[in-house]
Amino acid sequence: PMRRRDFLKQSSLAAAGAAAARPDWSAFSQNPTVRLGFIGVGLRGRSHLEQVLYRPDVTVTALADVDPDALRQSNEMIRKSGRKDAAVYSGERDFEKLVLRKDVDAVIVSTPWEWHAPMALAAMKAGKYTGLEVPAVLTLKEAWELVETHEKTGTHLMLLENVCYRRDVMAVLNMVRQGLFGEMLYAHCGYQHDLRPVKFNDGKQPYGGGAEVGPQGMSEARWRTAHSVNRNGDLYPTHGIGPVAEWLNINRGNRFTALASMATKSRGLHKYIVENGGENHPNAKVTFKLGDIVTTSIQCQNGENVVIVHDTNSPRPYSLGFRAQGTKGIWMDDGDQIYLEKTSPKHDQWEPFAPYQAKYDHPLWRKFEKDAENAGHGGMDFFVVRAFVESVKRKWPPPIDVYDAVAWSAVSALSEESVRKGGALVEFPDFTKGKWSSRQPVFALGEEY
Ligand code: NAD
């Protein structure tokens, strides 16, 4: 791993390389409070809001959401935290006004996917450090636009990929960096989550369900389900590919070079509507393009392969299905087990991962375990928000930057293309334009993020 001094040096070198528009550092030592604007304060936006309101160094000055109730609930949270109400914007394109406010240093975007790129572009063009929910983009065109806007304006974008901070994948990252798996060969990951009650949610049951979508639906049923109607590919790759990209130093000495995807037939969503709304429910006539299980193989420059699975329409317990494998051994998330040659006590037999988790727990987790306690998704949400705020305060390039954001998110568009072409191999664009070979890892190498 890079030593801390090198880590700092690297960051400031990268900073120096960015466009001249970068504001100077001293502004922050004089004013340590980060003034945030939130675009989208639905379920996810409010969960980020809760996290930032725990911090004394953050104020929330503006909110944009088309749902007045979401705005009301958010300002109630802000008031309860002892702060004064944020300015509110409720028009569909009012985010364009929010990003121009002088009392907004940075924005957090947690809106439906189709809004991510337009909102991030507006924020970056206005010079606002941007925290963007996953996935960053839907198309390759949007991906290039984000890269070019960052390069032109020098404004940073951090992808808020919380799973990179999951405790076990960070311990595994630590082990990968220390060479315990030998040379890395393979990783497996995915988004394997029964989203049927999210895609169809009439708001009548605590965990979703029903047969309603669109304006009749609740939360993600209002917009996410449409992507299953119109698209066939890996629609949600970043929770899996993000942590794997950190293990494999993607965009930092390595890169994705090509992928191929195959999709099964589509059965689960229609079946769910019929079971919950009856055969005559209007949604029972909808044809879903999305195959129930989409499997993608990705090749890497340094000779590793990654398999990533998108599986959201079938009854199944949740698992991101992580697996890290190298020349010396293998860890598997499912079963929480590990085997390391010449270390594991019994030849050819798994041992539990727990003792390794304790031994190789990442220093960030050791240090901030208590602070992470009341954050969502087992604490990882604390770390991703912390990394964002600390990056904004220091005006540092973020640990998960625009190149990571687009490479990880582009798996969707590329897998759609591959599925469309019957599983053909599709070339992966090099969004770094060659810089991948000299860029150095930064993620979780310093105390700040
Ligand atoms: P949601 O539907 O609950 O919230 C989206 C919000 O965006 C709504 O309040 C909606 O009114 C608002 N919105 C829609 N159009 C808008 C516009 N033009 N301007 C301003 N606001 C607008 O959905 P969610 O569950 O909060 O998901 C939001 C995003 O967060 C998605 O991209 C999702 O993928 C991501 N997410 C990530 C995680 C994670 O673990 N990282 C978890 C959940 C959701």
Q: What is the pLDDT of residues 385-429, one digit of tens each?
A: 999 999 999 899 999 999 999 999 999 999 999 999 999 999 999
CA of residue 432 relative to chain centroid, distance: 19
pLDDT tier, 205 (very low <50, low <70, confident <90, very high otherwise): confident
| H or E element, residue 329 | strand 329-332
Tokens of 188: 């497996």
Any ligand 1 atom below 6 A from CB of 162: yes
Task: Give the per-residue pLDDT at 445.
Answer: 94
Q: How far apart are CA 85 and CA 69, in angstroms?
A: 15
115 Cβ inside 6 Å of ligand 1: yes
Cα 115 to averaged position of ligand 1 atoms, centre (Å): 9
What is the per-residue pLDDT for 8?
A: 36
Structure tokens at 449: 């993020």
* Residues whose CB falls within 8 Å of the CB of residue 158, separated by 6 or more in sequence, listed in order: 129, 130, 131, 132, 387, 388, 391, 398, 399, 400, 401, 405
pLDDT score, position 44: 97
Q: Is the whole-model pTM more than 0.85?
A: yes
In whole angstroms, how far apart are CA 145 and each of 120, 131, 133, 290, 431? 10, 16, 17, 26, 10
Average pLDDT of span 214-221: 92
DSSP 355-417: HHHHHH--HHHHHHHHHHTTSTGGGHHHHHHHHHHHHHHHTPPPSS-HHHHHHHHHHHHHHHH
**pLDDT given for residue 207 in this prediction:** 86
CB 163 near ligand 1, within 6 Å: no
In which band, very low, low, confident or very high, does the pLDDT at 9 lie, cut at 50, 70 and 90?
very low
The kind and range of the H/E element at 34 are strand 34-39
Query: Ligand 1 pocket, 203 CB below 6 A?
Result: no
- What letter does residue 285 receive in the DSSP assignment? G
How confident is the model at residue 3, as a pLDDT?
Answer: 42
Residue with CA nearest ligand 1 atom 9: 42
Query: Cβ neighbours of residue 121 under 8 Å, at least 6 residues apart?
Result: 145, 146, 149
Distance between CA atoms of 177 and 181, rounded to whole angstroms?
9
Ligand 1 centroid–CA 110 distance in Å is 4
Residue 261 Cα to ligand 1 middle (Å): 27
In which band, very low, low, confident or very high, does the pLDDT at 11 lie, cut at 50, 70 and 90? very low
Measured CA to CA, the distance from residue 368 to residue 431 in angstroms comes to 33
Assess whether the C-beta atom of 219 lies below 6 angstroms from ligand 1.
Answer: yes
Whether residue 429 has its Cβ less than 6 Å from ligand 1: no
Average of per-residue pLDDT across 267-287: 96
Mean pLDDT value of segment 302-323: 98
Distance 68 CA to ligand 1 centre (A): 14
Is omega for the bond preceding 363 within 30 degrees of 0, making it cis? no
Contact 73 CB / ligand 1 (< 6 Å): no
- State the pLDDT at residue 164: 98
Q: Show the tokens assigned to 276.
A: 């919950």
Tokens representing 44 are: 């996810």
* Confidence (pLDDT) at 373: 83
Question: Of ligand 1's atoms, which has the minimum distance to the CA of residue 116?
Answer: 32
329 CA to middle of ligand 1, Å? 39
Give the pLDDT of residue 22.
Answer: 29
Q: What is the pLDDT of residue 195?
A: 97
Between the CA of 315 and the centroid of ligand 1 the distance, in Å, is 24
Alpha carbons 205 and 211: distance in angstroms, whole number = 12
Distance 183 CA to ligand 1 centre (A): 39
**Pocket mutation for ligand 1, best pick of 111, 115, 236 (most atoms within 8 Å of C-beta):** 111
Instruction: Report the candidate in 150, 140, 286 with the shortest Cα–Cα distance to residue 132.
Output: 150
Place of tokens 């759609």: 416
Q: Whose CA is nearest to atom 43 of ligand 1?
A: 44
Under 8 Å CB-to-CB from 33, ≥6 apart: which residues? 57, 58, 59
Question: Any idea what the Cα angle at residue 83 is, between residues 77 and 89, rounded to 5°?
Answer: 65
Output the CA 157–ligand 1 centroid distance in Å: 18
CA 41 → CA 48, 69, 73, 224, 338, distances in Å? 9, 10, 9, 16, 40
CA atoms within 13 A of residue 110's CA, in its CB half-sphere: 20
Helix (H/G/I), strand (E/B), else coil: 39: strand
d(CA 168, CA 311): 22
* Ligand 1 neighbourhood includes 40 CB (under 6 angstroms): yes
Q: What is the mean pLDDT of the chain?
A: 92
Judging by DSSP bridges, how do beta strands 184-192 and 129-132 pair with one another? unpaired
**CA of residue 306 to ligand 1 center, whole Å:** 28
**Tens of pLDDT along 60-105?**
999 999 999 999 999 999 999 999 999 999 999 999 999 999 999 9
| Among candidate residues 414, 418, 394, 429, the one with its CA nearest the CA of residue 147 | 429
Cβ atoms of residues 83 and 50 within 8 Å: no
Query: Model confidence over 166-185: pLDDT tens digits?
Result: 999 999 999 999 999 999 99
Tokens (6 digits) for 27? 């502004």
13-41 pLDDT, tens digit each: 333 333 333 233 333 333 479 999 999 99
From the CA of 38, how far away is ligand 1's center (Å)?
A: 11
**pLDDT exceeds cutoff 80 at 356:** yes
Cβ of 424 below 6 Å from ligand 1: no
- Ligand 1 pocket test: which of 38, 41, 44, 92 has the largest number of ligand atoms within 8 Å of its C-beta? 44
The single-letter code of the amino acid at 51 is Q
Between 1 and 102, residue with greater pLDDT:
102
- Whether 65 is in the pocket of ligand 1, judged by its Cβ within 6 Å, is yes
Pocket test for ligand 1, best of 43, 162, 223, 381 (most atoms within 8 A of CB): 43
Q: Where are the beta strands (DSSP E) in 118-192?
A: 129-132, 157-159, 184-192
Q: How far apart are CA 211 and CA 70, in angstroms?
A: 23
Sequence-separated (6 or more) residues with CB below 8 Å from residue 97: 89
- pLDDT over 60 (residue 261): yes
Q: How far is the CA of 42 from the centre of ligand 1 (A)?
A: 5
CA of 298 to the centre of ligand 1 (A): 28
User: At 447, is the pLDDT very low, low, confident or very high (cuts 50, 70, 90)?
Assistant: confident
